[in-house]
Structure 1
């Protein structure tokens, strides 16, 4: 009898369970069974997958702190908007296409799959009414998951289904916020703004009932929409409203940082400083926002009295071991503060520390290299400046950035200067050594080789010491770090190679360093360094053999050096406006017996330089030399008529028309007429951009009907007066061809 009763109970339990599994019966048991199963089984797993996906985004996303941050830390592909791929039930979009290959799902796709399963298996839509109170949560999870897989239109479809069918749901406000964000992503920001205004502004009575967390999300969504529509004033307003309560610590900190960046871009330093200060003191904010808020404080202070306080704060942050991942940025900003205080040595030290910081970002290095380049450029150390600008271009991977393009132009402008400075330095050295006697040349290179040996020996010893203490550097460390030198086979092998490179195969005996000690396997009595002729760095004859002895070769070196000095004078004078350096190069050139053709332009440029420097005595000296030795030149005419005033500006289009007329005269062979018209017209436009073209055309015309000498003089005037223009360079090329 007892056994019979147990069977009845089991059958009854199975019957009740089967009855409650039905989604077509609206009973208390059915509703509660499916609600509990949905919430604590399917949706729980779906939400866990969704949360994991959010964590992956936050971990994997790398913020560019040098540009304004996006409000959401995620990158979507601009042209990738996926249409709905399911077509079974409204809003959900279930049922994968048949024949589609099964692949591993992403975290958000897994969350979407669980949401779809909850709706399909546990939905209780009876006579148009949903009786499972967890289904609206499933649709919201479905919409959010689709949003993060960049399927915005299907996401909006799922979210609209909630809004249309569950208007009284407790998550209706959150659903509308997500729909507004999805609309913003597909460029429907006006729709998003209108929806959020209805939620927050029009329905004043509802706003009071909204939780602070929801208000923050709504204002953040509005700020996103206004940023997308380039309405920054409205974006600022809603970022301010979104950061009143800071319930969501991560998004709240991000909103504060972006708000500070907007104020900084508008040059509202006080407002930016206030916002970043609030973020720096926000204890629960993620640390990356707090540390960068401190860096931004150093960029946005407006009172000089705060400089020392900020420097102290930056030093404390640098000393904090937790800030090692940010050392490159901290050192850089400390350097900027010192530079603003005119403490250039301290600034240089911090910039170099920034470059040496481990794990420093390439983008930060571009800013640091640029600062160093600018400092050396300002100090007229153009070769160092060029090297640092080159480092920016080597490190940077962004060829579109306006800042990088500007640095590239600077570097190109310096390239000619570096080339000519190198010619001057190299040729000076060769000419100087060539002028020495044979014994002096030999002594010079012997001293040089000794210094070279000492330097190499010290470097090798330092390397061996480093390895002996376990610091072998990249690619040489093996075994445990800090292991003894003789236990490290790789270090031993390297040490042996370095020893033989310097000393050769010495016997193991006393006084092995003495030069008369023979090397193993050799009867030579010379020092091993001298015996090892393979290393040309230490071979005296290899240096002596390169010294030029022919007069023609040495004269050619001098001519190239003199031409380089002249070019440097022009570059410093006209391109970099550094009159002192231009003066030093041209004055030195004047003492080196330059070519006859360079004497007039040297004196002309020195006359102009001393005039600009206010040295009337030296200016007068060069002026008198030009008037006395070259009275018939254009330069003399300009000196004699310095106050010729242009009474009327000529429009550029008129100048171009006149140039065409004179060019046609030249093409028709009317050379004298072309020259007369150019002379008559050019005096009315001395500052026009086309003046060099007129002068070069005039020189061409002179060359056609006057002699070679007159042609050359006309070209020299163009080359000297407009040396940095295309016409000036062309004139120089023609002069060189004539002289060959």
Structure 2
């Protein structure tokens, strides 16, 4: 028996050794190597390849606000550090530890190389192992996804040339075409795909999924050549079948986006409706299709049906991660239906949605800002535009939409600053104008008000501390069903912990210093020690407010000057930038009432004359016109009013003005900045109709910047930028302001 057993074992070993040979063209050899290649080496390689595809899918983020990529790959050249695998890789024991760090695609490439090196049966120029073409295809695809397109092309070409009758020949040609597209050889890819499709049309038994891949690749190629109609044609063909459900859904979505770009709204709605109703499509494409369907819905009776459809989707708890976009699109429809209040509520809900992204938020903030701007609530609009600018990333920072918002917001920032100056200085000057008794009464009432508010907050916190309450009692945190789960995924443990916390601390709001029930005295900056060592809250002390009121006449004069300058700037901004005559008149008229500066009478009168004339208020326009003609008949403003169509005649010689400018400029270069400013102020009283006026204004601003503080310097520059906006000096002043803002 032992002898028989030995013979059997020997026979088996001999058979295995014989079949291991790659030089013998026998059925046993071919079968052994084919099976070993497919179910051992290639199986592991294909699993690694699938892991790599999953990684790509997880890392790739689609921006549904733009046209999607037909093939969803995000290549990052700066971080691509793919190892180059050479022949013989994977066989050395010393490389085993190093190979553990290979990426999934590198592992797949390694297995493909191993399959070729060990199991290839190239006998008399013919490959006898039917799985080697699969190995080369896997090799090429792995290199494709690691952005090594030239080596990938070599692998695909090897299969096509050496295995013309292989089952995967058609698929390999599609991958070769895709690689050429990535290399910028779109025309070559189109030619080869067109020949392939001609063959596929004649082959009846061909798998239709291959045609689907070919049509998709052809659409990719034509997209690179900007031949949109051809992209549409091939995407339509690709969407007739749906073997790859994710790619089919993507193709339908891209096709709908293109229809929308071409203003073929009916076709876009049909495609997005088809995708929204396509049950096999991934959720993100179905919901995004609903959003796009809403975007392409006109503002007529159909928008009511679309709004109802969106509300139904919002109520579905399965769509929670898409609420930000669903709320936003519902807001757009409401705004289109002239229902701004409901629209604003939807936009705010979109911003508050748990699952969100910054780019989506920029659209909601922009809509809210535009609505506030239309209502002339410029301060609120500016706040919303600020949010857009802060949230936008570098990737989208140069979009035309974002650049437009930045420009608009820049003017609103200046506006907000001047509005705050007027409000703040008016409040202080109002207190300055009060008698001591009026001040005392005012602040006593204010202190009583904040004491009452603090007491109400304290009481609310005490009422919230429901000591001794508990829920979820008796639940064992050692329940086997919850064993091994993270604490916050364990509902019983979480309930137990919540109950224990409330026993100790009660119900506390989510805020800083949550342990303190009385926050009114928690801020150390408000609590001080008096002469007797007792703690005193300065917010409740009358002297805190009375001592803060300025008494120095110079300080008060500066407050008045700042307020008046802000009023003037506001008037010009509302007049020139926002063309809001009502607010321009409000600020300029108020300035005429409070200003005692005679220098402002002429420009104020001219600006008000222009505004009233534009608004058709003849009587008021004539009032300021007469002021200019009677008091300042020799000025350029009077000449413009009298001869609006005639070019002004210079009464002073330009060379005389130029000589004076040079004289003052030498003072500036000699660091006599105050003298330069005084000379400009004195000379400007006699300066008329000169093209050099903006130069004097800019030189004055630059001189002020040399000996006064930054804010005063900026105000002087802003005057030049606004008053002479169309001149080189005005533009230069604007550039300097931008540089100051950056520092």
2:420 is aligned with 1:422: yes
* Residue-by-residue CA offset, 1:448-479 (whole Å, 9 max, x unaligned): 223223334444555566675999xxxxx998
Which residue of the partner structure matches residue 481 of structure 1?
A: 498
Aligned-pair CA distance for 1:179 = 0.9
Alignment of 1:231-630 (within 5 A): 231-302=227-298, 304-398=300-394, 399-462=397-460, 480-481=497-498, 483=500, 485-488=502-505, 497-499=516-518, 501-502=520-521, 532-533=535-536, 535-630=537-632
Which residue of the partner structure matches residue 48 of structure 1?
A: 47
For the residues of structure 1 that align with 2:375 and 2:342, how far apart are their CA atoms? 16
**Structure 1 gaps, min length 5:** 472-476, 505-520, 525-529, 647-657, 672-690, 702-716, 733-740
Alignment of 1:714-733 (within 5 A): 722=724, 727=729
For the residues of structure 2 that align with 1:402 and 1:180, how far apart are their CA atoms? 34
For the residues of structure 2 that align with 1:482 and 1:119, how far apart are their CA atoms? 64
* Residue-by-residue CA offset, 1:184-241 (whole Å, 9 max, x unaligned): 112122221111111014x365354432211111111111122223332222221121
| Aligned with 1:194 (options 181, 191, 195) | 191
Pair 1:693–1:74, CA change in 2 (3 A): farther
Alignment of 1:594-673 (within 5 A): 594-644=596-646
For the residues of structure 2 that align with 1:502 and 1:669, how far apart are their CA atoms? 63
Confirm or deny: 8 A CA contact 1:85 1:96 kept in the other structure. no
Which residue of the partner structure matches residue 36 of structure 2?
A: 37
2:138 is aligned with 1:119: no
Confirm or deny: 8 A CA contact 2:465 2:507 kept in the other structure. no
Confirm or deny: 8 A CA contact 1:479 1:488 kept in the other structure. no
The answer to which of 50-59 and 326-335 deviates more is 50-59
* Residue-by-residue CA offset, 1:18-37 (whole Å, 9 max, x unaligned): 21221111111111122122
| Aligned with 2:207 (options 206, 211, 225) | 211
Confirm or deny: 8 A CA contact 1:35 1:133 kept in the other structure. yes
The answer to which of 570-579 and 452-461 deviates more is 452-461
For the residues of structure 1 that align with 2:642 and 2:2, how far apart are their CA atoms? 133
Pair 1:463–1:247, CA change in 2 (3 A): farther
* Residue-by-residue CA offset, 1:55-101 (whole Å, 9 max, x unaligned): 22223322112222111221113589999945659xxx998999895
For the residues of structure 2 that align with 1:421 and 1:427, how far apart are their CA atoms? 10
Confirm or deny: 8 A CA contact 1:82 1:150 kept in the other structure. no
For the residues of structure 1 that align with 2:318 and 2:617, how far apart are their CA atoms? 59
Which residue of the partner structure matches residue 11 of structure 1?
A: 10
For the residues of structure 2 that align with 1:599 and 1:699, how far apart are their CA atoms? 18
Confirm or deny: 8 A CA contact 2:163 2:169 kept in the other structure. yes
For the residues of structure 1 that align with 2:560 and 2:408, how far apart are their CA atoms? 29
**Superposition RMSD in Å:** 3.8
Aligned-pair CA distance for 1:5 = 2.4
Corresponding residue SS for 1:625? helix
For the residues of structure 1 that align with 2:13 and 2:695, how far apart are their CA atoms? 107
For the residues of structure 2 that align with 1:188 and 1:417, how far apart are their CA atoms? 53
Length, aligned pairs only: 653
2:226 is aligned with 1:230: yes
For the residues of structure 2 that align with 1:666 and 1:522, how far apart are their CA atoms? 65
Aligned-pair CA distance for 1:292 = 0.6
Pair 1:414–1:200, CA change in 2 (3 A): same
| Aligned with 2:174 (options 172, 177, 181) | 177
For the residues of structure 1 that align with 2:698 and 2:159, how far apart are their CA atoms? 82
* Residue-by-residue CA offset, 1:590-639 (whole Å, 9 max, x unaligned): 22244111122222111111111111222222222322333232222222
Alignment of 1:133-148 (within 5 A): 133-148=130-145
Aligned-pair CA distance for 1:265 = 2.6
Confirm or deny: 8 A CA contact 2:609 2:624 kept in the other structure. yes
Which residue of the partner structure matches residue 714 of structure 1?
A: none
* Residue-by-residue CA offset, 1:160-184 (whole Å, 9 max, x unaligned): 1111111111111101011111111
For the residues of structure 2 that align with 1:699 and 1:140, how far apart are their CA atoms? 73
For the residues of structure 2 that align with 1:32 and 1:466, how far apart are their CA atoms? 77
For the residues of structure 2 that align with 1:633 and 1:217, how far apart are their CA atoms? 77
Which residue of the partner structure matches residue 515 of structure 1?
A: none
For the residues of structure 1 that align with 2:635 and 2:624, how far apart are their CA atoms? 14
For the residues of structure 2 that align with 1:719 and 1:503, how far apart are their CA atoms? 47
Pair 1:428–1:724, CA change in 2 (3 A): farther
**Structure 2 gaps, min length 5:** 472-493, 524-528, 663-688, 700-718, 735-743
* Residue-by-residue CA offset, 1:283-340 (whole Å, 9 max, x unaligned): 1100000111111111112352221111111111111111111111111111111111
Aligned-pair CA distance for 1:531 = 6.0
Pair 1:173–1:467, CA change in 2 (3 A): farther
Aligned-pair CA distance for 1:132 = 1.2
Confirm or deny: 8 A CA contact 2:82 2:146 kept in the other structure. no
TM-score (structure 1 length as normaliser): 0.80
For the residues of structure 2 that align with 1:180 and 1:395, how far apart are their CA atoms? 40
Aligned-pair CA distance for 1:133 = 1.1
Confirm or deny: 8 A CA contact 2:464 2:508 kept in the other structure. no
Confirm or deny: 8 A CA contact 1:220 1:238 kept in the other structure. yes
Pair 1:370–1:462, CA change in 2 (3 A): farther
For the residues of structure 1 that align with 2:387 and 2:122, how far apart are their CA atoms? 67
| Aligned with 1:221 (options 217, 225, 229) | 217
TM-score (structure 2 length as normaliser): 0.80
Pair 1:463–1:284, CA change in 2 (3 A): farther
Corresponding residue SS for 1:75? coil
Confirm or deny: 8 A CA contact 2:575 2:581 kept in the other structure. yes
Confirm or deny: 8 A CA contact 1:213 1:247 kept in the other structure. yes
